[in-house]
Amino acid sequence: MLRWRKTWEIAKKDMASIRRHRYVIYSLLAMPIIFAIVVPFTSIYPMLSVGEVPSTELPPFAPANVPAKQAMILSMVNMALLMFMFIPAAIPSTIATYTFVGEKVNKQLEPLLATPTTDSELLIGKSIGAFLPGIAATFASFIAFVCLVDALTFSTFNLLILPNPLSLVIIFIFSPLIGIMSVEWCVFVSSKVSDVRAAMQLGIVSIAPVLALYFLFLGGILTLSLPALAIFGAILILATIGLFFLSKATFERENILTKWK
């Protein structure tokens, strides 16, 4: 039986702790700012001022049934949306590295393990502490991105192009799944390394599915159709479940004190 009050206390403590880590704060601020502000201004804004776009120059993933220029802008927006999945992959992974490996290296886990909390309460509490800031940063960044893109493109489309169904799927389904997966992966990594930098390097593996989707889409191998997104979603769900069991088996008092490196 999970006691949410204790779980939440652990999450709150971890979130309070990471506020003091400059590297984490920079990641929390830098990535969302890049995706919300820099990307629209560097990839979408220049498209607005070009004249006509020859249809031969359209990328393979450009939507059909719209004028070439609009198709190009929509393609850029979709590409930018896919990039949003990097935020929940990278930020929770960075935080989890500090709260799991960092605490292990600083020998802060033993007093915590001695408290009357269950392994699940500790694991879930610490996972929430790493997950929430990442997902909050993703949402905040997404809202800023939507506002900026709509403001920039309204005169071209005469309608608000965001949020569209793809953006909602990415933000509300894929991003949380990727965030959870990245924390679970970091828990596993924590048991294998005893160095924060090494953990960060291994933790970055959690962006692999996002990269795969991005390049498959970019190369035109994958279209952003409903079946393709459903398959990707199903893969994410299966991976999340698999990693949950792996992290649960890893994060066990006895293992942490006797087997973790």
Partner 1 sequence: MIELEGLTRKFGELIAVDNLTFAVGEGEVFGLLGPNGAGKTTTVRMLCCLIRPTSGKAFVGGFEVGKDSLKIREIVGLLPENPGLYDELSAYRNLDFFAKLYDVPEKKRKENIEYFLRMLDLWNRKDELVGTFSKGMKQKIAIARALVHEPKVLFLDEPTAGLDPEAAMVVREFILELKKERRTIFICTHNLDEAEKLCDRIAILNHRVVAMGSPAELERGLWEKTTVVHLRSVNENILKAIEGIEGVRKVEAIENKLLINVDEPEMRNPLIVRAIVNAGGEIEFVTELKRGLEEVYMRLIGGKNA
The residues that touch partner 1, with contacts defined as CB under 8 A, are: 5-6, 9-10, 13, 16-17, 19-21, 106-118, 253-254, 257-258
- Backbone phi and psi for residue 191, each to the nearest 5 degrees, phi listed first: -80, -15
Question: 């392994």: which residue's tokens?
Answer: 119
Instruction: Give 111's Cβ-side CA count (13 Å radius).
Output: 5
CA dihedral 87, 93, 95, 96 (to 10 degrees): 150
At how many degrees (to 10) do helices 119-157 and 175-190 cross?
A: 140
User: CB of residue 6 vs partner 1: minimum separation in angstroms?
Assistant: 6
User: CB of residue 5 vs partner 1: minimum separation in angstroms?
Assistant: 8
User: CB of residue 110 vs partner 1: minimum separation in angstroms?
Assistant: 4
CA 82-59-89 angle, to 5 degrees, is: 15
- Give 119 or 150: the residue with its C-beta nearer to partner 1: 119
- Backbone phi and psi for residue 30, each to the nearest 5 degrees, phi listed first: -65, -50
- Give 24 or 82: the residue with its C-beta nearer to partner 1: 24
User: CB of residue 103 vs partner 1: minimum separation in angstroms?
Assistant: 8
Among 215, 208, 261, which Cα is nearest to 236's?
Answer: 208
- Give 71 or 101: the residue with its C-beta nearer to partner 1: 101
- Give 6 or 69: the residue with its C-beta nearer to partner 1: 6
User: CB of residue 112 vs partner 1: minimum separation in angstroms?
Assistant: 8
User: CB of residue 140 vs partner 1: minimum separation in angstroms?
Assistant: 23
Provide the CA 65 distance to its chain's centre, in angstroms. 32
User: CB of residue 135 vs partner 1: minimum separation in angstroms?
Assistant: 22
At how many degrees (to 10) do helices 208-218 and 68-83 cross?
A: 170
The SS3 assignment for 142 reads helix
- Give 109 or 202: the residue with its C-beta nearer to partner 1: 109
- Give 103 or 150: the residue with its C-beta nearer to partner 1: 103
Instruction: Give 166's Cβ-side CA count (13 Å radius).
Output: 22
- Give 8 or 188: the residue with its C-beta nearer to partner 1: 8
* 8-state DSSP, 108: -
